[in-house]
Structure 1
Amino acid sequence: MSELGNTADVAVRLPAMRVAYDGTLDESDLAPSWVEQLQTWLDEALAGGVAEPNAMVLATADANGLPSSRTVLCKGLDDRGIVFYTNYTSAKSHDLSVTRYASVTFPWYPLQRQVHVRGEVEKVDPAETAEYWATRPRGSQLGAWASPQSQVVTSRRELDTALSAVERRFRDVERIPVPPHWGGWRIRPDVVEFWQGRQDRLHDRLRYVCTEDGWRIQRVAP
């Protein structure tokens, strides 16, 4: 009864849960380019104490149009796009290989902000992947070799056994190589939207939109 009561209590409270936003975002506030604006907001999220400010929710769809989302980490940002790294045999990579399109959202709740990016995807050049790989902790490198990402495993013990085997394999190797099944994806944006929470839910939404004549800024109703 207590568990049911707690569940019912949460259900009752959900409609009343809300936060009053008080920010503003004007066209005159924006940097000349989306990448400069995103870098500025990333810096402000870091300075504001946001946990993992480079965390972003990646949305993909499979060949049948079924969507999936998960959190990944942005590990590259320049005028070419946004980069994250993963296993190329993972579910997300299968989706991206089929549709060649993705979106990500940076959710910075403490700052009442989010940034949404969508566009075509491409694999990161192996040399660029290797450069990033060299910065990863050894444990993360071993984990990338050990994990059959997105595949069903029988138990946690199976993963631990695989990791132990990889640790033995590379015990005397100083520089662990990049797995052939691992690398980066770059999202090349055609739309980048900056969202700022505002009073009365009339939020500010400003978009950089790629057109044949270059990037344009649009205001979108909340």
Structure 2
Amino acid sequence: MVNSDRVVADAEALLQRVSPEGRRLAQRQRERRNRAMVRAVMRIIGATLAIMLAAGIVGAFVPIGQMGFLAALILIVISWVVILAMSHEPAETVQSLAATSDVALLPQKTEAWLQRQRPALPAPAQRLADGIGLKLEQLGPQLVGLDPREPAAAEVRKLLSVELPELIDGYTRVPQNLRRVERDGYPSPDKQLAEALGVIDGQLAEMSSNLASGDLHRLATQQRYLELKYKDETE
């Protein structure tokens, strides 16, 4: 017999993959990869031309011979390897998010981290994660120039580098067979996660609105009514 819950979950996941939010985020990721590739190719071309030019200048005064030509080729290959290695961005982690000092970089870093966690989330939470990703995209430019000493900056940093990662990380530690189970009067972990992400989504919208209006005081002192640290009630 086909598991009806599994069928529903698969259908929701399929709908999510073709949702406008999901397509937009996927397009942004492709654009980032393409830009990174273009930058790497341009640097490779520049390094190759620089080495060839240097070899030509040296050869104009001192014959470099086959050994010099071989040395130039080796330098070109080494430059390619170094450039490609440096162009690869390491995956964001909970620790790297917490260590990010520039609050203006946090939205993009948190969005990249959240998208990598997406496959481990249930379909409703995936939709919410995509919505959060779009709000992070909008929030990034608003944080440029924000004084890191402002209480508003501390509030943004706490939400993006501590509370949201702790929520997702806590959920993923729950065994999969218990994620849909209600226990001791508490909703299932899947439902708790969706509710918490919904609150975060709303809070990000309010943060963006407050930043747009210049109301930093309200952003720093707004009421917080959710415990974002996920509590694993299972044993």
What is the TM-score with the length of structure 1 in the denominator? 0.21
What is the TM-score with the length of structure 2 in the denominator? 0.21
Higher helix share: 2
Q: Which has the higher contact order (CA 8 A, sep 6+)?
A: 1
Higher strand share: 1
Larger radius of gyration: 2
